[in-house]
Structure 1
Amino acid sequence: MPKGLFLFFMLLLSLPAHAEDWPTEQWPTGPAITGPALQALEAYAFPPRDDTTRRGIRSDALLVIRDGQLIYERYAGPTNAQTPHLTWSISKSLMATVLGVAYGDGRFRLEDPVAKFYPPLEKHPDLTMADLLHWASGIDWQEDYEYAPLKSSVVAMLYTRGHSDMAAFTADHHSYAAAGQAFRYSSGDTNLLSAALKNIVGAERYPNYPWSALFEPLGIRSAVWETDATGTFVASSYAYLTARDLARIGLLMARDGRWGDKQLLPKDWVVFNREPFIGYRANQDEAVPGGHWWLNRATGGGARPWPDAPADTFAALGHWGQAMYVIPGANLVIVRYGDDRDGSYRHNELLRLALEAFAGSEQP
């Protein structure tokens, strides 16, 4: 065999079997998906929109990434591909991802007491970073919205007496349980993490840290993140991203924290995000908390919360139907923005229909 031909074949053997696609300024696009399964998905996600009563399923955006390629995208209402959409509590998973970069730089450990970084928590000395990431602070907190606003800790934090310094408002609450023992969903826990991050990375770096640590390396250009009056990011609720940019976070997590040839998040951090909190007691139809992400895992002998989706599915979820689903085994990232007000939207139904439309469809 001629030497040049031999070298050519050796080069072919050294290439990966399947070259990975990664977004640059734009997402690479894959083959368009059509057919009855897609029609069924669209009928569910985009029924006639009732803007008068705001009832029913009201999707603002649905975007699907498969194998790193954009294969489906549709918008409704005032939202389009350039709209930074309010993510509500997806912001919590974004903060966990930002913290993962700081963790990888050795700036904190999961077992560190939070008071080390946020002194107002000295009244809760046993509370660790891991406890907050599991929503297991033990701090007495009521996460009610429209249905019990007068008793709601989160409404008071976001809109009334706590809104100028949300972390201090949360830290001033009493405990109802020992830290790390019980799950109680709390936007206050996340804003304590945000306040701790300020001392973890330093006050000078903090205002730009989500961008320099995470958004810019991923090519995210649309991100807006509101702060309270102290300059602390409202990590519980007020990050805004386009659907295309949010999907970059999903792809990072789907690929175990790797972005191109760089391990942006340590693998053990992603494992922590995707492991169920050991102190969780299952409730029917409720996703299982991991490290500030939501998991489709069976716990306590029960069924998976989303039975028609694979067990490796995990998600970032927010108020009024915001969702980003990551399904590593199917190489899928699905972003869904919504304006749902009556609880009619079902995660499992969207996932079932999306898997039928995209996971099993043949590429030309």
Structure 2
Amino acid sequence: MTFQIAGFVDNIGSKKLNVLSVRVLQKAQRLGQWDREGDARRLQHSVSKSFTCMAVGLAVAEGKLTLDARLNDFFPAYGKTVAGSPYPPGELTLSHLLRMASGHDSPPLWAEERETLQEKDWAKYYMSLPLDRMPGEIFTYSSGDTFMISAMVQAAALETVRDYLVPRLFEPLGIRDVRWDTSPLGVTLGCTGLWISCEELSRFGQLLLQKGRWQGVQLIPEAWIGEVTRKQIDTPGTADWGAGYGGQFWMCTHGAYRADGMHGQFCVVIPDKEAVIAINSHEDDMQGILDAVWADILPQL
């Protein structure tokens, strides 16, 4: 059967879903592609989180970090005693943060807050806030958690997540001169801010499918890919937002997992089909896009 992307394009068109670019790979070969107006580098929003996760895996492998590392190990001046907190924020571990289980009901450092926050030291701000419950048990999606992961990697590796990943991940994947936005103090945002194209995103997906191996070289430890792309905590949503969360990756229906960003940025990996689907969009109906993937792309794989 010859792969046809036209059904997917017709489906998103009929539903007025503003998808901009699509790449479909299987067995490391491109099956199909489609661009509304070319494949420009675009803000990947929270897909950035999954790239930050790769920096963690590398730092762990290099002995710079452990999953039990606490915020206070790197920021000892902050978060030791916070009034009204059932648990000291400084005792939060890297493991808590990776699983979005930090214990906040209203997570800090959302986009709107980042734009107006007067405090320039975002690690200090994050660690000044009380938790609402004990960490480790309940998922609450938090860009602040991922920013703190980025800050921990920077403190451990002595360079930003962006710079740390340039020789270890971006350059081997052919992603050059990458832009990744920073906090006021120059910390890679981690949670968002990465600008790459759909084509470049598809390479990242292929790396994940190949369990961290690229052109014969193990860029990311295989065990790390396996750990962070499996379900680690329940999520309260429905459909593809209710399938659980790993370590900075969402689980999907249909035996898949994904990196996922606001307005319809997706890097979907389907191991059983040896397939990767990368999508860039400017669309709020994100489940609608995934429904079209399951209806029109998956059956052809």
Matches of 2:158 and 2:231 in 1, distance apart? 31
SS in 2 for 1:158: helix
CA contact (8 A) 2:264 2:281 kept: yes
Q: 1:208 to 1:327 in 2, by over 3 A?
A: same
2:106 alignment partner in structure 1: 141
Matches of 2:200 and 2:104 in 1, distance apart? 34
2:66 alignment partner in structure 1: 109
Measured against aligned partners, the alpha-carbon deviations of 1:304-324 in whole angstroms (never above 9, x if no partner) come to xx3xx2x2x100011111111
1:202 alignment partner in structure 2: 158
2:83 alignment partner in structure 1: none
Q: Which has the larger radius of gyration?
A: 1
CA contact (8 A) 2:202 2:278 kept: yes
SS in 2 for 1:217: coil
Matches of 2:10 and 2:79 in 1, distance apart? 49
Q: What's the RMSD between the two structures over aligned residues? A: 2.3
Measured against aligned partners, the alpha-carbon deviations of 1:128-168 in whole angstroms (never above 9, x if no partner) come to 1111000011134248xxxxxxxxx5144321116844333
> 1:207 Cα deviation (Å)?
5.6
CA contact (8 A) 2:23 2:279 kept: yes
2:85 alignment partner in structure 1: none
CA contact (8 A) 1:84 1:223 kept: no
1:316 alignment partner in structure 2: 259
- The total of aligned residue pairs comes to 291
Larger displacement relative to structure 2 (347-356 or 178-187): 347-356
* 2:219 aligned with 1:249: no
* 2:199 aligned with 1:229: no
SS in 2 for 1:100: helix
Q: 1:281 to 1:326 in 2, by over 3 A?
A: closer
SS in 1 for 2:266: strand
One-letter amino acid of the counterpart of residue 65, structure 1: L
Match among 89, 103, 110 for residue 154 of structure 1: 110
2:282 alignment partner in structure 1: 339
Matches of 2:201 and 2:56 in 1, distance apart? 17
Identity of aligned residues (%): 25
One-letter amino acid of the counterpart of residue 315, structure 1: R
Measured against aligned partners, the alpha-carbon deviations of 1:99-150 in whole angstroms (never above 9, x if no partner) come to 222222121111222321233344424311111000011134248xxxxxxx
2:31 alignment partner in structure 1: 71
Q: 1:43 to 1:281 in 2, by over 3 A?
A: closer
> 1:191 Cα deviation (Å)?
0.3
Measured against aligned partners, the alpha-carbon deviations of 1:332-363 in whole angstroms (never above 9, x if no partner) come to 11111111135672413323311123x0xxxx
CA contact (8 A) 2:264 2:285 kept: no
Matches of 1:88 and 1:110 in 2, distance apart? 25
1:33 alignment partner in structure 2: 3
2:75 alignment partner in structure 1: 118
Q: 1:164 to 1:47 in 2, by over 3 A?
A: farther
> 1:72 Cα deviation (Å)?
1.3
One-letter amino acid of the counterpart of residue 113, structure 1: R
1:62 alignment partner in structure 2: 22
CA contact (8 A) 2:235 2:245 kept: no
TM-score (norm 1): 0.74
SS in 2 for 1:340: coil
* 2:150 aligned with 1:189: no
One-letter amino acid of the counterpart of residue 325, structure 1: V
1:215 alignment partner in structure 2: 170
Gaps of 5+ in 2: 81-87
* 2:51 aligned with 1:90: no
Q: 1:74 to 1:110 in 2, by over 3 A?
A: same
